[in-house]
Chain A
């Protein structure tokens, strides 16, 4: 795709971000966790990526660093998407929160915290959202067995 925003972005973010790749029409940058928040700030302020659409993680169990965070952004001016990725390790799955930049980060990071146990530094509200208070573990991690049950109400026998 020869969209000018792609080459501009590539030049602006590459020193920090390493080579960008194009996956099915979406520009993908691999960053370190420390580079993430500054890069997102530039994306929003300089390049008009005003919609923070989604954050999730992929658990590459057995690899190090284990978790890959995946962020999707969209620009209503350029009508383009960008995907940022950052890897965090199992021992310290921490990354800076995007709450200071986007309101939508609050809920989506809560979900990611529920499911993968990623800690978003700066998000003061990481209460369970899809799970319930007292749920033990993070169900979308690959080492969480699918059949494990944690009933809130004891089963009647």
Chain B
């Protein structure tokens, strides 16, 4: 290489505060951080004096690309934001478009979306906890949790046809209804989930090594968390019971019985425990929703009967000209969304996932903005890292659960 490569980032500090401290660069591709993120830290021995967190290494122009495709075509893109709980992205995005179009989804779709949202939350928390525990050396706990997660991935693949990025939401409904025996298999998996999560509780909760690494590490105060726009598990771990599912109920959450677990100190241990408790609440909700889905009142269609957004049945497309034209118009021009703007927010596993959509009345969005919780959390991550040990960056970063696809868009 003739010319040296330019550094893609410029740190906020170029000189050290003291003579005996050093500046080290961690990442963007570091084996101990899951997520492509760069942390430039000034160290006094092993203690972090200050840090500068850089994200953006997975930026791929999501919002720019969205302005060039029809409303339907964006569904696979939004899947790839938070790829650990892709279904929640789908539903939050579709919810925004449905608000603009004034579409009311069917009762069965509403309950099914709620069930799948909770399923996604469960998968996301399992992944986050498993990875976080593995980074602390708890390999057994990692394998227990990831094994259960893999049953869930396979189970979701049986419904959606894909393991991770499902493309299952549709504007005004869902891709397809549940296959035969799906809810029965779900109950089997939930029973296994309970068994293995119980084992993790026993292995980890009162484990001296775990507590020493997690208690009073990565602490954030309630005031700081609010000021830095933190939402989701991190805000709840500081004791604020803010949960959109309770505060602004969407989908079927108003009809469900569940609690919002909160922490006390806002440290890593609280975030671990809040996630564990939230998973139990999700399972509790999934069982209620599975009951509801079997009731005769909820045996109706999953897609609204609205020619503006719902694709006609395939046999009709082949047989009659109106459906054929309808199909072509929806594919080529996209669903015509009335001019306006909407902000739809769902409680994603990481916090408030918002979609701000602007339409000028055509089949293509004028603007799609994703309010990504991970990105906002990165803005305050230095508060949790500064003053701690270098080695604490790993568990603290794990407990923030930064997802690159969503953070960098």
Residues of chain A touching chain B, judged by Cβ–Cβ distance below 8 Å, are 23-24, 26, 50-54, 56, 58-59, 70, 72, 74, 76, 79, 81, 83, 102-104, 106-108, 111, 115, 125, 127-134, 139-140, 144, 146, 152-153
Contact = CB atoms under 8 A, between A and B. Distances in A.
B342 A107 contact: no
A76 B239 CA distance: 12
Nearest to B352: A53
A23 B9 contact: no
Contacts of A134: 6
B321 interface: no
A77 to B, nearest CB: 10
Interface string B365-381: 01101010001101110
Given A24-B99, A53-B229, A104-B229, A70 B68 contact: no
| 6 nearest CB pairs, A to B | A107-B379, A104-B229, A132-B8, A103-B228, A130-B56, A103-B227
B55 interface: yes
A146 B378 CA distance: 27
20 contacts: A24-B100, A24-B343, A51-B229, A53-B371, A56-B356, A56-B369, A70-B369, A72-B371, A76-B226, A79-B247, A102-B228, A104-B376, A107-B375, A107-B378, A107-B380, A111-B375, A115-B63, A128-B9, A133-B9, A140-B63
B36 interface: no
Contacts of A131: 56, 59
Contacts of B340: 23-24
Interface string B26-65: 0000000000000000000000000000111001010111
A81 B340 CA distance: 17
Give the size range of B's interface with the partner. Answer: 35 or more
B224 interface: yes
Contacts of A107: 375-376, 378-380
A106 B247 CA distance: 27
Interface in B209-242: 224, 226-229, 231, 240, 242
A130 B341 contact: no
A152 B9 CA distance: 12
B54 A72 contact: no
A107 B61 CA distance: 18
Contact of A102 (B59, B100, B229): B229
Contacts of A24: 99-100, 340, 342-343
Contacts of B366: 58
Contact of A72 (B247, B356, B378): B356
B291 interface: no
Of the candidates B8, B12, B100, the one having the most CB atoms from chain A within 10 angstroms of its own CB is: B8
A127 B52 CA distance: 12
Given A53-B352, A140-B63, A146-B65, A103 B8 contact: no
A24 B345 CA distance: 12
A127 B248 CA distance: 35
Given A53-B229, A54-B369, A133 B10 contact: yes
A106 B7 CA distance: 22
B358 interface: yes
Contacts of B68: 146
Contact of A133 (B8, B226, B227, B409): B8
Contacts of B9: 127-128, 132-133
Given A76-B242, A130-B55, A130-B409, 19 more contacts: A24-B343, A51-B231, A52-B229, A53-B229, A53-B376, A54-B369, A54-B371, A56-B367, A58-B366, A70-B356, A72-B356, A79-B247, A83-B343, A102-B227, A108-B229, A127-B10, A130-B408, A133-B8, A139-B61
Contacts of B65: 146
Contacts of A72: 343, 354, 356, 371
B214 to A, nearest CB: 24
B6 A103 contact: no
Contact of B228 (A70, A104, A125): A104
B37 to A, nearest CB: 12
A153 B379 CA distance: 28
A131 B12 CA distance: 16
Given A70-B356, A104-B380, A107-B378, A76 B240 contact: yes
Nearest to A70: B356
A81 B250 CA distance: 15
Contacts of A132: 8-9, 56
